[in-house]
Structure 1
Amino acid sequence: MTTTTAITPSRVLRSEWHKLRTVRSTWTTLLASAALLLGVGILMGATYTPGGGDSDIDTVVLTLYGSQLGVLALAVLGILVTAGEYATGMIRATLTAVPRRLPVLWAKATVYTTTIFTTSLLTALLTFLTAQIFLSDTDQAASLTDDGVLTAIAGNAAGVTLLGLIALGLGAALRSVPGAIGAFVGGVLIVPEILGMLPYDAMDTAVRYFPTQAAGALGSATPLPGAASPGAALLALLLWAAAALAVPALLLKCRDV
């Protein structure tokens, strides 16, 4: 007599978590992102001069400036989580084990989101507190209990996580690691900057809700001039991430593999 193991969401989640934590690239990219955030934060704190060009920058933005670089590593990890399986051919075994397919995508997104948000939040807290050692006697001195600081740190973590989730969706849709990286860098990072230079007020308003600009608004303890409100920025990022996942979900239902 043979027995079959029921495919449940928890088992699919455990499978995806096992794959994520046992791949060397996961720890390499997480360490790279953390090192960039912490290193740049310490550099900004150690080299800060009161009354200089950075004196009008929000304290959280100043100390977590490295997240703009770290998000690239997290985006690459998101792409590897999905497109990497197509590159190795492992996706065939995965979809054979889970014939309904969509639970695989949702499990990958859930495991990735949980891992990245947790590590990003802890790293951001450590970076802020470390940078404040250097900033304690300056006009950029702040604590976690100051208005908006803890919310901005959490917002920074949420922003980079959702940007990475968009990259994960691109990887699942394009099924190519180089192609997804190119699409993320070009479409998510570069195109909004080009559109923002166009002399049209409507375009300037629209660009505020593009992924990178919305993520920036989430990570500031004080309102940024010309940026979306934190609530609107979070909603925009959630919609971008949902759209990025909806495309591969549709393709999984329509394609053979």
Structure 2
Amino acid sequence: MTTTTPPAPHTAPTHAVTPSRVLHSEWHKLRTLRSTWVTLAVACALVIGVGITMGATYDGDDSEIDTVVFVLLGTQLSQICVAVLGILVTAGEYSTGMIRASLTAVPRRLPVLWSKAAVFATLAFTLTFATNIVTFLLAQIWLSDTDKALSLTDSGVLGALAGNAAAITLLSLVALGLGALLRSVPAGIGAFVGLVLILPEVLAMISADFVQDALRYFPTKASASLGSMAQTGDSISPTAALISLCLWAAAALITTALLLKRRDV
């Protein structure tokens, strides 16, 4: 008499949680949200629209302004749009409850935060840099016969265009960190506007030298230095500005990471 061994029950294949899979998941979530492309489209349109307007209406009155700063004045508005998107990337998941699924799928938690930051920063920098180049070239159609005539190959131009894009990206990473820290879209936007945009203007009213020196390393002041072709008397060097912005972004993300490990969600 022989016995037969019953077939082993079918089990669903398991997939290990790897950095590449977490990155792919976060990229899929980011690119499939309509708000991502609407927000970025508005940001790009603001930069290009203001840049064309500045070039078409230039009459020589603003000759002392750095050419790259002049044509990219629209980034003062677009940076708010990109920052809001950064807040939505993190705080938006808390508002919908999707963060529970994300953290359940990746129990170690921190890879989710790092992947969100990496995917968002890559997309924000790529589109911002491309928009800056397009805006510069379009504005030069009207500026080619003026004292602001420049080309992409001129010294410092590409560096300033890339620096501006890096500044906006790093500012937005600060916003992303604030969104995850506060877990609320309105609170994140309020904190970014109040702490990053308004607080430096309030502190600027204090005439003490140490306050004025410290303000040069605040995010908005540092971003202005990073996106300029020439260093002015009251600005820091592009290298110092880049380091300063990296430290601000790192502080926001590391603080968020520490709390993410300790919180229930």
* TM-score where L is the length of structure 2: 0.95
2:33 is matched with which residue? 23
Percent of counterpart pairs with the same letter? 65
The question of 1:205 aligning with 2:213 is answered: yes
Q: Which runs of 5+ in 1 are unaligned?
A: none
Equivalent residue number for residue 238 of structure 2:
230
Q: Distance in 1 between matches of 2:71 and 2:233?
A: 19
Say which one has the larger Rg: 2
Aligned residue among 56, 64, 70 for 2:78: 70
Which residue in 2 is equivalent to 1:162?
170
The whole-number CA distance in structure 2 between the counterparts of 1:65 and 1:212 is 14
TM-score using structure 1 length: 0.98
**CA deviations over 1:174-229 (Å, ceiling 9, x no partner):** 00000000000000001011111211111111000000110110111111230111
| Aligned mate of 2:105, from 97, 106, 109 | 97
Counterpart secondary structure, 2:228: coil
Q: Offset at 1:130?
A: 0.4
Count of aligned positions: 255
**Which amino acid in the other structure matches residue 254 of structure 1?**
R
After superposition, residues 74-89 of structure 1 pair within 5 angstroms as: 74-89=82-97
Find the aligned partners of 2:232 and 2:184 in 1 and give their Cα distance: 36
Residue 67 of structure 1 aligns to which amino acid in structure 2? T
Report the counterpart of residue 34 of structure 1 in structure 2.
Answer: 44
Cα distance in 2 between the residues matched to 1:225 and 1:75: 29
Q: Which runs of 4+ in 1 moved over 6 A?
A: none
Deviations along 1:84-138, one digit per CA (max 9) or x if unpaired, are 0000000001100000000000000000000000000000000000001010011
Structural RMSD (CA): 0.6
| Counterpart residue identity of residue 72, structure 2 | L
- The alignment status of 1:10 with 2:6, answered yes or no, reads no
Alignment of 1:146-161 (within 5 A): 146-161=154-169
Measure, in 2, the Cα distance between the counterparts of 1:225 and 1:143.
25
Residues 52-90 of structure 1 deviation map (CA, whole Å, 9 limit, x = unaligned) = 1x1100000000110110000000000000000000000
